[in-house]
Structure 1
Amino acid sequence: MPLRYDGKLYRALNPIHAREPLSGLGAEIYGGRFNPKGVPALYTSLSVMTALREANQVGNLQPTTLVAYEAEIENIFDCSDETALAAKGMDVSLLAGATWRDEMKATGEAKTQGFARHLISIGYNGLLVRSFAAGATHADKNLVLWKWADNPPARLILIDDEHRLSR
């Protein structure tokens, strides 16, 4: 059964891309664990610390711009539902697999990307999945969005009341 998420989401961005916090262009160009190349995506987190872990997975902490959003997102696939995962031919070990990049290079699309493509094709706006970043626990969650807009059913609004990013 699809989930609905209402609340804040966080994203830690490279400052070079901070002026476009609603762009999924980087993910679209390069592909990500849960989006094939050609499909824009926003990788957001349910907590600030998870967002920081996700953005700085290699080496030392680099300069980062943290942004927050108000979200009202319907039709989210819940990856913690192991029965629903199994029905889609997935399991937690496949979601967590560290070789998705190699698989993408070798075959053009990793299994997790194919899974995402299927979910998108049947109307999901995103998926809720635990973070697999170093130091993350089962409580650290990400919400990967494939569809977002200014209004429901995939409402995502940047919190920038003081217009700091446009300066």
Structure 2
Amino acid sequence: MSESEPVRLWRAYVPRWAHAPLSGDGAARFGGRWNPVGLPTIYAARELSTAWAEYNQSFVQHPALIAQLELRHAWLADMMAPDVLADFGVTDDIHREEWRDALDQGVVPATHRLQAELTSRGFDGLIYPSFMSPGGSCVALWRWNAGGAELTVINPESRLPKTPASWL
């Protein structure tokens, strides 16, 4: 699915990185459900409440910065649509995969295999259901701001710092 209209996304992230709302380096460093270690990825939600729930994946409420993003011209695979799942030979079970357990066992998770296939077919990312906020949806984006998908942070009063110096 390619979006012609801007898509509003919400991203909750560690305040220490307030100066880098469009960085996928944290996901690259640790890996995630939809990205292997080494692949920068932006994880964002399509609803504000979902962004908060996904960020605080435990009962501990961590401090967070929440930024609104605007996504344009992205080619996203809607992995919430049964026909799209079927086109890629997977079922909705992929959304419940214990991907960390697979990694711990030395197995490439099905989500990482699907991400590689989507990337090879030219997709910028995917839409998937929130695990932490039933009914909510999220986007994992592997390519942005390098031709094609354009991702910007909504920062009308320039309140976000431009460097990490604000934390020194």
TM-score w.r.t. structure 1 length? 0.89
Q: Which amino acid aligns with 2:56?
A: N
- Counterpart of 1:101? 100
Uncovered stretches (5+) of structure 2, i.e. residues with no partner: none
Q: Does 1:148 align with 2:144?
A: yes
- Counterpart of 2:55? 55
Question: Are 2:8 and 2:68, in contact at CA under 8 Å, matched by a contact in 1?
Answer: yes
Aligned length: 161
Cα deviation for residue 108 of structure 1 reads 5.0
Q: Counterparts of 2:106 and 2:73 in 1: how far apart (Å)? A: 32
Q: Counterparts of 2:107 and 2:152 in 1: how far apart (Å)? A: 33
Give the structure with the higher percent strand: 1
Q: Which amino acid aligns with 1:19?
A: H
Partner secondary structure for residue 80 of structure 2: coil
Question: Are 1:131 and 1:142, in contact at CA under 8 Å, matched by a contact in 2?
Answer: yes
Among the aligned pairs, what percent are the same residue?
Answer: 31
* 1:94-133 aligned within 5 A: 94-97=94-97, 99-107=98-106, 109-133=108-132
Q: Counterparts of 2:39 and 2:120 in 1: how far apart (Å)? A: 12
- Counterpart of 2:134? 137
Q: Which amino acid aligns with 2:149?
A: A
Q: Which amino acid aligns with 1:132?
A: F
Question: RMSD value over aligned CA atoms?
Answer: 1.7
Partner secondary structure for residue 36 of structure 2: coil
TM-score w.r.t. structure 2 length? 0.88
Question: Are 1:73 and 1:125, in contact at CA under 8 Å, matched by a contact in 2?
Answer: no
Partner secondary structure for residue 105 of structure 2: helix
- Counterpart of 1:162? 157
Cα deviation for residue 18 of structure 1 reads 2.0
Q: Which amino acid aligns with 1:96?
A: R
Q: Counterparts of 2:96 and 2:50 in 1: how far apart (Å)? A: 16
Q: Which amino acid aligns with 2:77?
A: F
Uncovered stretches (5+) of structure 1, i.e. residues with no partner: none
Partner secondary structure for residue 36 of structure 1: coil
